[in-house]
A and B are shown apart, each in its own frame.
Chain A
Amino acid sequence: MKPQHATSAVASAVSVRSLRKEFRTKQKLPGLGAAFRSLVHPSIRTITAVDGVSFEVERGEILAFIGPNGAGKSTTIKLLTGILYPDSGEVRVLGLDPHRERRALAYRIGTVFGQKSQLWFHLPPSDSFSLLAGIYDIDRERAKRRIEFLTEVFGIGDLLTTPVRKLSLGQRIRCEIAASLLHEPEILFLDEPTIGLDVVVKERIRDLIRTVNREDGVTVFLTSHDAGDIEKICRRVMVVNHGRIVWNGSVNEMKYTLLNRRIVSLKLEAPLVFSMEGVEIVKSKGYAAKLEVDLTRVTIESVVSTLLRENKIVDISIAAPPLEEIIASIYGRTEAPVDGEQTTDGDE
């Protein structure tokens, strides 16, 4: 079911093999007695955040890394950027071991994390850019050229001298992404880049991400809950749940093969007359109808030919279900592994 993505070790920007990470946290039980008992004999819960994950990301790829809250996305990104070390398995990012060579890797990756802005709140973005140029050891001339290039691509010329606190969220995100690209990183990690933005600004940010990928050849590793981000920017999507990868393939493959369902929308000259095994009439009102076809039980061809034979059709469209539904369905069908979480007694 899960398609294998064609990869090459040489071309890989990220290579992950059997990666595993557990967290042990003290449990606070209710009651005063339990509080005292836990001082002597703490109850520890072990959570497997990443459970034997393997994948590759090619250079120049735009990959969506998605999953529900607590699925292991954030932990995986922290393992890839060297913030966390793995309990077992192997991680290589641009050929480097992120945890052991974190400082060297920092010069070659860019990160945009919603929780931590790299722009100084009271200073204009141009000041933050100059400071970041210093932090990344970029010489003045190169920094100037790079800032000019990013200013043009991101259309932020008129924002450069406005204090960051006075920028709108969309303007700030544009400046954040531009700041993360100042040192010409080979991989850009973006955590929810379009969250909270309106439709027009979202579209602009998506355009910019595509442009940066095309112009600079930057590999983009993106987490998002927005199906639009995934559909419009990414070619490949990886779904993680309960610490495991439950889908790794192209967005199109996901849409067309994962759920064997199609939505047929009809406009008719008379009310719908139709009944067929494997087809559910989702909605039928007046001269319009919507059908859901289960492709494991019936072919789309036989459904359409039957419809045409028995009804006078004005218009017909056949579509895959919306991506949100597909993603929700993937989350829903992956249950927690039995050994994913366990509680033990003992010292931390």
Chain B
Amino acid sequence: MAMSKYLDVFRFSVRDQTAYLPAFMARNLFFVVILFVFFSLWRVVFAESGVIAGFTIVQTLWYLTFTEAIELSRSSVLQTVQADVKDGTIAYDLTRPYSYVVFSLARGVGEAVAKLALVLVVGFVVATVFVGPLPGYFSALPFGVLVIFGGIVLNVLWHLVIALLAFWTEEVMPFHWILQKLVFILGGMFFPIEFFPDWLARIARVLPFAFSAYWPARTMVAFSFDGFLVAVVGQAIYIGVLLALALGIFALAKRRVHAHGG
């Protein structure tokens, strides 16, 4: 019964997004531009050799499609929670019979899933037009969907943790920018971690940032069951750690609500 209320929040959050989807659809133009720019870039790079670090141009562009799809479908949980903290309205959520952290997580994941569905469809069409279909797409899809979902949950949790820091710093966007750059670079947002020097790739693969971008995309473009298991287990561990962190920060932060009178 306790979990079902959060599933309801997730469900209604997906539904709530339908009002924003036309505007979001327009923003997908940006997605098409990114894919075009990278397609042009990779075409030059791959002209010399057909395969780099085990990846073909088809795999590399599809890889970017998936990492960007996760990034572009990010929820507004960071802005919402930060605003709740800054204007004090978070206090009123304490009078409801739910955990604010889990409620915000469910709402954020619902929002991101609704956006993701649309971005994946756009990505599928655009990547197919640019480089042709991805070999093994449909056989990897059931596993890929699971870890792409895991990547989204991780992103929402990161944003939640950062937004809750507003209890101390009020403005949290700098933390967000730092995280975003870490995911861009160490998380393998723009290209697979295999393109890094070996020593850096070994480190980057186990960092949490890779489980938001690299591992879900790799599961789709270079599927192996072992790789999928690493992705799932890694995501489960980092989701657990970040959820515990968010709950811990919120427990501490509640005392700040008290100190400032809401």
Mark A residues whose CB is within 8 Å of B. Answer: 21, 23-25, 49, 74-75, 78, 81-85, 102-103, 106-107, 109, 111, 113, 115-116, 118, 120-123, 127-128, 130-131, 134-137, 163
Contacts and interface: CB of A to CB of B under 8 A. Distances in A.
Nearest to A115: B89
Contacts of A83: 91-92, 94-95, 257, 262
B19 interface: yes
Contact of B97 (A107, A121, A128, A131): A107
Interface string B2-31: 001100110010011011100000000000
Interface of B: 1, 4-5, 8-9, 12, 15-16, 18-20, 87-89, 91-98, 257-262
Which of A24, A75, A107, A131 is the most central at the interface, judged by chain B CB atoms within 10 Å of its CB? A131
A134 B4 contact: yes
Contact of B95 (A49, A111, A123): A111
Given A83-B91, A135-B96, 9 more contacts: A23-B259, A74-B262, A78-B262, A82-B94, A102-B94, A121-B16, A127-B15, A135-B5, A135-B8
A81 B20 CA distance: 34
B92 A131 contact: no
B130 to A, nearest CB: 34
Contacts of A121: 16
B5 A134 contact: yes
A131 B12 contact: yes
Given A23-B260, A122-B16, A127-B12, A113 B94 contact: no
A163 B261 contact: no
Nearest to B9: A131
Which of B16, B89, B91, B95 is the most central at the interface, judged by chain A CB atoms within 10 Å of its CB? B95
Contacts of B8: 130-131, 134-135
A102 B4 CA distance: 21
Which of A25, A127, A135, A136 is the most central at the interface, judged by chain B CB atoms within 10 Å of its CB? A135
Contacts of B93: 116
B17 to A, nearest CB: 8
A103 B96 CA distance: 7
Contact of B92 (A21, A24, A103, A115): A115
Nearest to A133: B8
Given A122-B20, A131-B9, A136 B258 contact: no
Q: Nearest 8 CB-CB pairs, A to B?
A: A122-B19, A134-B8, A116-B92, A106-B97, A116-B89, A81-B95, A134-B5, A83-B91
A144 to B, nearest CB: 15
Nearest to B1: A137
Contacts of B18: 122
Contacts of B262: 74, 78, 83-84
A4 B249 CA distance: 45
A135 B95 contact: no
B16 A123 contact: yes
Contacts of A107: 97
A131 B11 CA distance: 9
Contacts of B259: 23-24
Contacts of B15: 123, 127
A81 to B, nearest CB: 5
B92 A120 contact: no
A135 B95 CA distance: 12
A135 B98 contact: yes
A137 B4 CA distance: 9
A83 B95 CA distance: 7
B261 A23 contact: yes
A74 B94 CA distance: 15
Contacts of B260: 23, 25
B97 A113 contact: no
B31 to A, nearest CB: 23
Contacts of B95: 81-83, 102, 106, 109, 111
Given A78-B262, A135-B98, A137-B5, A123 B12 contact: yes
A127 B14 CA distance: 12
A111 B262 CA distance: 16
B4 to A, nearest CB: 6
15 contacts: A25-B260, A49-B261, A74-B261, A83-B94, A102-B95, A103-B97, A106-B96, A115-B87, A118-B96, A122-B16, A122-B19, A123-B19, A130-B12, A134-B4, A135-B98
